[in-house]
Structure 1
Amino acid sequence: MDVQLIGNSTPMRNIRELIKTVADTALTVIIYGEIGVGKEVIARELHRLSNRRKKRFVKVNCAALPSELLESELFGYERGAFTGATRFKPGKFEIASGGVIFLDEVGDIPLRLQAKLLQVLQNGEFSRLGGKDVKVNTWVISATNHDLADDMRETRFREDLYYRLNIIKIDVPPLRERREDIPPLVGYFINKYRSELDISEDFTIGPEMMDLFLQYDWPGNVRELANTIHRLMVMGDWEELRRRISSEPDTTSSKPSTLNPRPLSGI
């Protein structure tokens, strides 16, 4: 999701200050938060403000590939390393050398690969599939919606890798815990989609609908809000949205039982 880091709540101001502090350090950063809170936006802001801004920002979704494919994607392979490896292929760590690699959903990396990731973090070195050693200078920023401390205690995540990743920790609160950020986000997305959709007429969220936006919990977070604005600007189904938001139960007084509550369906 191509968005800016929007919001003037205390947590967002603190995150901005932390980004400025660590942007040029190349210290390993991990970003925690529910799905849709904007973890990639923060990773890209770190890259934008760093002295690596003119180098590559390479994203890898660690949950999207099976173990064998993820290993070749991250670390590359030599020709003949396995059946079908007809040519040399550099891995994402190698491609991102001098810049940033963003390991999204790092908590989903299989244990077998966690040792190899640890080696890169410690020494900047790894072996491509097929045997050749490679040395890189890559700033590692990762993100997860897991509670890695729980994963570590339950032996799903290596303890040494956990501490290596958690040098700089950024916790991004869900949108329901920073409701004052909703109006500026709404304004930002309206301007964004007006430009993208080439809409010349005015489009506004009236006071009544904004009140509903402020009361709704947004379990899909900023991504759900963005998709809602986008749909309204295309479809104009205000009454359907009003009914759906109004019928959602109020969960503001209860602590969510998971990092990924159910998003508003159909929006």
Structure 2
Amino acid sequence: MGRLDDGRRVYFVVPKAPFGSMAEHAVVSPAHCIAMPDDIDDITAAAIANPGMSSWAAYTERAKLKAGETVLINGATGTAGRLAVQIAKHLGASKVIATGRNIDTLRSLAAIGADVTIPLVENDAALEETFKQQFAEGVDVVIDYLWGRSAERLLIAAAKFGRDAVPLRFVQIGSSSGADITLPSAVLRSSAIELMGSGIGSISVDRLIQAVGELLRATTSAGFTVAAKPVPLSDVERAWPEDDSARRTVFTMNAGMS
């Protein structure tokens, strides 16, 4: 977040090396600045932009989500996953299935749009059986924040129990459960799974900037919520290593950021 010389508030992205943004002034291309809507405060905008963009761009640019489709979010209990639930419903998903490891947080997702919640249990057979019912009923899009073992079980279950010759768009976004999986080749041969990623490289920077703008303009009217914790920049050394997966840390320059 920042202000231009004329006082206009902007959200800006990817300052060009060697410049960064953790300072009182930053050098940024005008093309990388997004005008801020008047109805969203600085803290909310700073907290929601990056995690919210991850699913907004995945839905709109990669999965091409259509109204009435079913979405499964693998890893929905962190900040990005909770936003992915809300954004899916806003973009027209008729059913949202959420998985996660934190049982208490998983239960709370019904209040923000999750229709089905699935705990990621350790037993592979039990997990596959739970996934079986959902894929048999029909899943159109998977948004994956975890990768690792749960993504393996999802892909295998989708191939075994999903609808024949009906595409399933599986969009990989994060890897908090591991960078690698073991994927049987039969999963791809015996299904219509479309496996893709979402991020810089799979989507142009210009399109990602557009996604952030669309997200910020929708935030207040759609009622998107994000837990945020403002922290003075002077406390950065203490706060930097803290886990903010459930409550997004926003570093502030002074009392003017609200």
TM-score w.r.t. length of structure 2: 0.39
TM-score w.r.t. length of structure 1: 0.38
Higher alpha-carbon Rg: 1
Greater relative contact order (CA < 8 Å, ≥ 6 in sequence):
1
